[in-house]
Structure 1
Amino acid sequence: MRIAVWQARGPDAGSERLTAAVARAAAAGADVLVTPELFATGYGVPFGGPDPDLLPRVRRAAAEHGVAVVVSEPHDGHVTAVVVGPDGEVLGRYAKTHLWGDDERAAFTAGDGTPLLVDLAGERCAVVICYDVEFPEVVRSLAVAGARTVLVPTALDDPAVARVLVPARAMENGVAIAYANQCDDPFCGTSLIVGPDGTVLARAGEEEELLVADVVRPAGLTDYLGDRRPEVYRLGRAERRGTSW
């Protein structure tokens, strides 16, 4: 599977730069293009409102160039990400489960955690948004459900997430991750594509950029999923017994 990640500045009224990025991804042979969180309508206070023409434009571009596209937009009070197939058909929509900070929580309602898994280029792919990927349980549950690649639109100002957490999520679950960040102030760029062994296959700097990488499963991956022992894991608070814990 060949993945393209577009690190972009927002907003992109009229989706002109988005349409051009779809064409560039297709010319590079990509099967799917992942774009940042809410970049087209604008991320930040005040958050941009829904653009009723955004999804139709993305569908036309995807069908014209034969490449799947993941695009994030506000929808019905949620931060969402939509997967459009290479034929222009909408394959599904995901609502962000973990909202970041008071501003997001004031503007949006958190999703209920319903996962989105779709097949792209013969690969089982899942979609989450930004802060979601920082929770180990989220990516683990998707891997257990059969996801082999996780596509992540994001808008973030902390490069440590891309440097530390994203490769860790990939390696500990044996999944590839495509992480597409915004790069205008205050966002930090550093978008990346990571293989299922945690190897960084492509990484952006701080400017607008298109990353492209082929994702393969190397031999000898540690089978963390297969070696789990869920029956012995104990979560929850300790119970007090007498005077000791």
Structure 2
Amino acid sequence: MQKIVSVFLVLVLSIVLTGCAKTQESATTNDASQTNANTQNTQNCDKSDTGDGDDQTITKKDQEEACAPIYRDSVENSYRNLQYRTSLYGEVPKEGSGLRLGVYQAQAAYGDGASEKNMNQLEEAVKEAKKYDVQLLSFPELYVPGYTLSSDDAKKVAEYKDGPSISKARQVAKANNMALLVPYAEKADIEGETKYFDSIAVINENGDLLDSYQKTHLYGQQERDNWSFGTSDYPVHAIFGFPVGVLNCYEAEFPELSRILALNGAKLIVAPTAADNYYVLPDGERSDVPYPDISHILAPANSYQNNIFFAYSNRAGYEKRGSDVWHYKGNSIVTGPYGDVLVEASHEQDTMLVSDVVPAFYGDTHPAPKYNYLQDRRPNLYGEMTSNEAKFYNDSEKPIDENTNLMEGGYTYPEKPE
């Protein structure tokens, strides 16, 4: 009899556990209903977070059918449910004393109709950020049209700075009393010639276009084929009375640029970016050289050396152009003057970062009282930094050809300006 009771209890327990598992599965399915298509793609394609160390090779079929998510049918975050990560002190910083910064990391639309889709999503993202009283919201590099553009596509989707996308962004900023950094493809007529730039619209809380910052340091063959080099004196803008500077992706990796902005008075530098985790080659194989993890290497260093806050505003998810697929690194981050991480996003998750940046909560970045790297500089010794000639560290007589990519079989880039 005792054995019969034991068997009966085991059967009951099995039924209960099975029911719980099904309930959990159902809840998970309901929570992910808006993301089912792209989540399925991710399971087939994204192996980067498995942590098992296995060689994850993507076939061409996987690349074409699994890696490229479908267009968003709405302005909702279809790649993942939007996650919030915050570092707040309480009340919104008073004007001039700091800023409540938002960083929107997300999968965005690409290809035909991307600009309209992404501008609709921008408006929804602003509404989400408004719930946290965000004062400045940043989007990833080339957020409006998408990053993976051919030269012909870049010209087709480029807009003048008073075009429909930036005009709409200005209206949204004014309506929500929120400043915006909106990266887009800019078309500009300069001295009788039409040029195209990888630009960032800097829009204040009143909807005024303070600047259309044109990227000055272009990365790799694609960017140099698509865009002209911008020229800038790296201005600092007052956002709610707080000094903010802007860099664009690759430029975050040049210490000279962060230092210039800090010397120009910036207390916060925001760098929209499109750093990829890997690139799928036309033959279906992954590239074996992921983009460096700037979030955890240079962002803290830029903050610490310049006694500033630094935000790295990256894309997440995938983009596809023809048979090529880009898988973005995510890992958006906000760092403080001590090189400390205030808030950061994960690799894949669509995320809204919200952080208060308030200099008064930090002292000097060097142990010696009242001294820091900016004050202790000796500029009269730094003339070599402006030299146009760079040399290999192990061959001082052999200058680097700055227009040649040594890692791509000697491909010669279009000449960069002096």
Q: TM-score, normalised by structure 2?
A: 0.55
Aligned to 1:90: 209
Q: Does 1:231 align with 2:407?
A: no
Alignment of 1:177-192 (within 5 A): 177-185=310-318, 186-192=327-333
Q: Does 1:127 align with 2:246?
A: yes
User: Which letter maps to 1:169?
Assistant: N
Residue 168 of structure 1 and its aligned partner are, at CA, apart by 0.6
Query: Which structure 2 segments of 5+ residues have no match?
Result: 1-98, 188-195, 277-290, 319-326, 367-371, 391-396, 398-418
Distance in structure 2 (CA, Å) of the matches to 1:69 and 1:26: 12
Residue 159 of structure 1 and its aligned partner are, at CA, apart by 5.2
Aligned to 1:156: 275
Residue of structure 1 aligned with 2:339, choices 198, 219, 224: 198
User: Which letter maps to 1:224?
Assistant: Y
Alignment of 1:53-72 (within 5 A): 53-72=164-183
8 Å contact kept, 1:173–1:224: yes
8 Å contact kept, 2:234–2:260: no
8 Å contact kept, 1:4–1:211: yes
**RMSD between aligned alpha carbons?**
1.8
Distance in structure 1 (CA, Å) of the matches to 2:134 and 2:339: 21
User: Which letter maps to 1:229?
Assistant: R
Question: Which 10-residue stretch deviates more, 218-227 or 92-101?
Answer: 218-227
Distance in structure 1 (CA, Å) of the matches to 2:382 and 2:204: 39
Residue 3 of structure 1 and its aligned partner are, at CA, apart by 0.3
Distance in structure 2 (CA, Å) of the matches to 1:196 and 1:9: 29
User: Which letter maps to 1:44?
Assistant: T
Aligned to 1:7: 105
Residue 10 of structure 1 and its aligned partner are, at CA, apart by 2.2
Deviation digits for residues 59-98 of structure 1, max 9, x if unmatched?
1111111110000111120101011111111111111011
Deviation digits for residues 182-211 of structure 1, max 9, x if unmatched?
102321100011112211111011221110
8 Å contact kept, 2:307–2:364: no
Distance in structure 2 (CA, Å) of the matches to 1:27 and 1:209: 14
User: Which letter maps to 2:337?
Assistant: P
Residue 221 of structure 1 and its aligned partner are, at CA, apart by 2.5
8 Å contact kept, 1:10–1:41: no
Could you list the structure 1 runs, at least 4 aligned residues long, displaced by more than 3 angstroms after superposition. Answer: none
1:36 counterpart SS class: coil
User: Which letter maps to 2:375?
Assistant: G
Deviation digits for residues 135-179 of structure 1, max 9, x if unmatched?
010110111111111111111123511110111111101111121
Q: Does 1:74 align with 2:185?
A: yes
Aligned to 2:233: 114
8 Å contact kept, 2:271–2:312: yes
Q: Does 1:41 align with 2:145?
A: yes
Distance in structure 2 (CA, Å) of the matches to 1:27 and 1:64: 14
Distance in structure 2 (CA, Å) of the matches to 1:232 and 1:110: 29
Question: Which 10-residue stretch deviates more, 90-99 or 110-119?
Answer: 110-119
Distance in structure 2 (CA, Å) of the matches to 1:148 and 1:234: 26
- Which one has the largest radius of gyration? 2
Aligned to 2:84: none
Residue of structure 2 aligned with 1:50, choices 158, 166, 177: 158
Number of residues paired by the alignment? 239
Question: Which 10-residue stretch deviates more, 107-116 or 88-97?
Answer: 107-116
8 Å contact kept, 2:205–2:240: no
Higher relative contact order (CA 8 A, sep 6+): 1
8 Å contact kept, 1:124–1:149: yes
Q: Does 1:209 align with 2:351?
A: yes
Residue 234 of structure 1 and its aligned partner are, at CA, apart by 5.3
Among all aligned residue pairs of Structure 1 and Structure 2, give the percentage whose two residues are the same amino acid.
32
Aligned to 1:30: 134
2:207 counterpart SS class: coil
Deviation digits for residues 28-53 of structure 1, max 9, x if unmatched?
11110011011221101325522532
2:174 counterpart SS class: helix
